[in-house]
Amino acid sequence: MDTDSGAGRDHDDCLGANTMSSNVKVAAPQMSAPFSKESVGVNPLRRVGAIVYDTLLVAALLMAITPVFFLFTGAAVTPSSGWLYYVYRAVLVAVICGFFVYFWTAKGRTLGMQAWRIRIERLDGSLPTSRDVLARLLVAAVPWIPAAALTMMAVQSNAPHLFATIAYCSIALVPLNYACAWFDEQRRSWHDRFLQTRIVRQK
């Protein structure tokens, strides 16, 4: 009898152990968020539409701030305004960066992106950090810097005609950054590929 009761207890213990082990959930390894062409394959034209929308909004902000400096200069803020000219430029850059840092880190989309139902995220599905946003703005601006510099020099009255032609052609090459998104599986532009971010459809 003792042997039978001992065997019964061992059997119950085994059943209890099996029941407890079946309730234990094993955490799956963290991986990048899955994507599908329906959610991530954002048409680059949507991005262009959002850029145009946001450009108008940012321009309105800059136009609202500029008159404040007129109180000190009495006219347009030019290099002849001295140190105030550099403060003015720094404020404009801060407003532009602040606009994108706030919207991208808080909501993952600006007002323009919201209108086109798209948002930005990291490859793991999380929202970008302030550092990610600033790096993205800097890298995205790289193609524009030489184009803007060449254009400013080309408008000089003594600039050679060939030089002006090169400057205007450089501007036409800027959209290639977004055109290359057509050939990426996740529709990422070159700065998205570099910074490990992506644009997705907002559900």
Run means of pLDDT, 10 residues per run, the chain, 203 residues: 47 46 43 46 80 94 89 78 86 94 95 92 91 89 74 65 70 71 73 83 77
Burial of 197 (C-beta count, 10 Å sphere; 0-12/13-18/19+): buried
DSSP 155: T
Residue 76 lies in a domain: yes
- The H-assigned helical ranges of the chain are 2-23, 37-40, 44-73, 83-106, 111-115, 130-141, 144-154, 161-173, 176-179, 190-195
Residue 9 belongs to some domain of the structure: no
- Given this model, what pLDDT does residue 38 score? 42
Instruction: Return the pLDDT at 160.
Output: 64
In a domain, 117, yes or no: yes
Question: For residue 108, is it within any domain?
Answer: yes
Q: Domain limits at 61?
A: 43-128
Is residue 192 included in any domain, yes or no? no
Please give the tally of structural domains in the chain.
Answer: 1
- At residue 100, the pLDDT reads 96
pLDDT at 36: 42
User: What is the rounded end-to-end Cα distance, in angstroms, of the chain?
Assistant: 67
